[in-house]
Amino acid sequence: MGTTAREEMSRFWEKNTKSNRPLSPHVTIYKWSLPMAMSITHRGTGVALSLGVSLFGLAALVLPEQFPHYLAQVRALSLGPALLCSAKFLLAFPFCYHTWNGIRHLV
């Protein structure tokens, strides 16, 4: 005669508890390595680029003015060179990293 799923689960958890097995491997048990960090960063930059392009495209469709108008507004803020350089780096880094890491992966 067959057993129910509840009985099977109960037996499984009893066996697991008695043998002191971990539930599943977790990120905390792995030793961090450069390829692991690069893979995670590659995925993160991919998500950031996808969201950024989507939001920029949506803004281009929804906002009433053309791009030069908003560029003039940013220039009117008179932001310092350090802040502008940092902002440019934050925009360029995901694109450059994702591109070069993708080429590295293909090679």
| 71 found inside a domain | yes
| 92 found inside a domain | yes
| 72 found inside a domain | yes
| 82 found inside a domain | yes
Query: Is the alpha carbon torsion for 103, 99, 34, 86 positive or negative?
Result: positive
| 20 found inside a domain | no
Q: Which residues are annotated as a binding site for heme?
A: 98
Euclidean distance between CA atoms 19 and 92, whole angstroms: 51
| 41 found inside a domain | yes
Q: Which residues are annotated as a binding site?
A: 98
Mind spelling out the 3-state secondary structure of 12-36?
HHHHHHHHCCCCCCCHHHCCCCHHH
DSSP state of 101: H
- Domain ranges, residue 40: 35-106
pLDDT band at 49 (very low <50, low <70, confident <90, very high): very high
Secondary structure (3-state) at 70: helix
Residue 2 pLDDT > 70? no
Domain count, the chain: 1
107 burial type by CB count under 10 A (0-12 exposed, 13-18 middle, 19+ buried):
exposed
Render pLDDT for 4-17 as a digit per residue (tens, 0 to 9).
888 888 888 888 88
| 27 found inside a domain | no
| 75 found inside a domain | yes
